[in-house]
């Protein structure tokens, strides 16, 4: 788990793994959702997390001056992502998915809002405590991206609530 005391490269690796865990969770949520709107929302969130992973991968490789995408791909396939970007263990969220059963799609969106809110708070906190100035910038950018996700989810929640 990130603390803000990591150097930039270690911070990028940890952030990448959390983004991967979150992407995997949203992919599963999209597959299990009942309402087409909820499926669409979770699929969009999964795609955004994939873009975050690409952003982090690009930064890491640029810093390393390493254009060997295959090497990073090997790392990604071998890596385990037990925690989401919000600091919530993937297993805990998966268990909550089973309990929700997606009979209540607004409830599932509320779970995503919780996850994104915690991710925003974590990245914001890390930006404030980062020892590395470049890591601070990366964490601020990630916090801004999470804020955009929260806005998207708030609109989606309102739209689902308005649907008869």
Helix or strand or coil: residue 7?
coil
pTM of the full predicted structure? 0.78
Residue pair 22/87 in contact by the 8 Å Cβ criterion: no
What pLDDT score was predicted for residue 51? 92
Q: Three-state SS across 146-157? A: HHHHHHHHHHHH
More reliable by pLDDT, 50 or 104 = 50
List the one residue out of 28, 23, 35 whose CA is nearest residue 119: 23
DSSP 62-82: HHHT---HHHHHHHHHH----
Q: Could you read off the pLDDT of 3-23 as tens digits, one per residue?
A: 555 577 777 888 888 888 889
128 dihedral zone (left: phi>0; alpha: psi -120 to 50; beta): alpha
Give the CA angle between residues 79, 42, 87 to the nearest 5°. 45
Q: For the chain, what percent of residues have pLDDT higher than 70?
A: 80
Range of weakest confidence among 71-75, 112-116, 143-147: 71-75
More confident residue, 59 or 77: 59
pLDDT for res 46 = 93
- Maximum distance among all Cα pairs of the chain, rounded to whole angstroms: 53
Handedness of CA 65, 75, 122, 52 (dihedral sign): positive
pLDDT at 103: 47
Rounded to whole angstroms, the Cα distance separating 132 from 100 reads 40
- The residue with tokens 């405590």 is 129
**For residue 118, what are its two tokens?**
């915690």
pLDDT at residue 102, rounded to an integer: 52
Tens digits of per-residue pLDDT, 82-140?
Answer: 677 767 776 777 676 666 555 456 777 888 888 889 889 988 988 888 877 887 888 89
d(CA 9, CA 61): 10
Q: Give the domains, in start order, of the chain with CATH numbers.
A: 8-162 (1.20.1260.10)
Rounded alpha-carbon distances, angstroms, from residue 67 to 16, 62, 70? 17, 8, 9
């Amino acid at each position: 788990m990130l603390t803000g005391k990591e150097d930039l490269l270690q911070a990028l690796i940890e952030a990448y793994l959390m983004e991967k865990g979150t992407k995997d969770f949203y992919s599963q949520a999209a597959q299990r959702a009942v309402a087409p709107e909820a499926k669409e929302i979770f699929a969009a969130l999964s795609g955004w997390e994939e873009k975050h992973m690409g952003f982090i991968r690009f930064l890491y490789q640029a810093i390393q001056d390493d254009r060997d995408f295959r090497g990073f791909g090997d790392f990604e396939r071998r890596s385990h992502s037990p925690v989401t970007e919000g600091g919530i263990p993937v297993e805990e969220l998966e268990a909550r998915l089973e309990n929700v059963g997606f009979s209540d799609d607004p409830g599932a969106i509320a779970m995503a809002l919780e996850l994104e809110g915690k991710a925003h708070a974590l990245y914001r906190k890390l930006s404030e405590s980062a020892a590395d100035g470049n890591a601070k910038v990366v964490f601020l950018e990630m916090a801004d991206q999470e804020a955009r996700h929260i806005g998207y989810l708030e609109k989606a929640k309102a739209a689902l609530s308005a649907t008869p």
